[in-house]
Structure 1
Amino acid sequence: MVAYSEAMWAEAKKKCRLNNEDIALAKRLGLNPRSLIKNIPSRSEPWKAPVKDWLHEIDEKRQKKAAQKQERKERPQKSSS
């Protein structure tokens, strides 16, 4: 795994208008500063969400998926006799 410098994270934080919590979330999600910068919507991409919203959307989807997986795990298994 490549370690990204704090300078790169600081640049992504500034360009994407993120706060420290958003940067921590991006790191937890396994994203890198370059991917954040690449996902800044341009004027020709009005459908793209701002990076901050995009990050929280990814996190929400992952949490929902993990909850469903946990739910399936806890559900009693039917025996196929």
Structure 2
Amino acid sequence: MAKNLEKWIVAQRKHHLSDRHIQMARELGLNPDKLGKIDNHKQEPWKAPLEEFIEDIYLKQFKKSEPDNIRSLKQIQQDEKRKREEKKEKKELRKLNQISPLTDEK
């Protein structure tokens, strides 16, 4: 599992964020380690709750209310694992194709 996805999984649990909000935050380039500073609306009442903050800056940045394709972190992990396995298989096939029986063509 990728380190950056592990951090997002921890942040999702810690801040009670949905897959939609995590997808938005990732597209915005937010740092999952720094979400605690933003999610401080109980101690600092002038701050918006984290979900509203993410939605607001996403709308400002991308001019749309939510991502076109919302994928859960588990789905992203599965896709990456499948991709790695396919890449490994292709690499092994190429290796097998390069090793051919020696022929004497003199």
Match of 1:52 in 2: 51
Structure 2: gaps (5+ residues): 64-106
Change (3 A) 1:53 1:4: farther
* CA deviation profile, 1:47-69 (whole Å, cap 9, x unmatched): 111111100010111134xxxxx
Q: Over aligned residues, Cα RMSD in angstroms? A: 1.9
Which TM-score applies when normalising by structure 1? 0.64
TM-score, normalised via structure 2 length: 0.50
Query: Paired residue for 1:40?
Result: 39
Q: Which runs of 4+ in 1 moved over 2 A?
A: 3-7
User: Any unmatched runs of 5+ in structure 1?
Assistant: 65-81
Aligned partner of 1:30 in structure 2 is: 29
Aligned residue pairs total 62
Q: CA deviation at 1:9?
A: 0.8
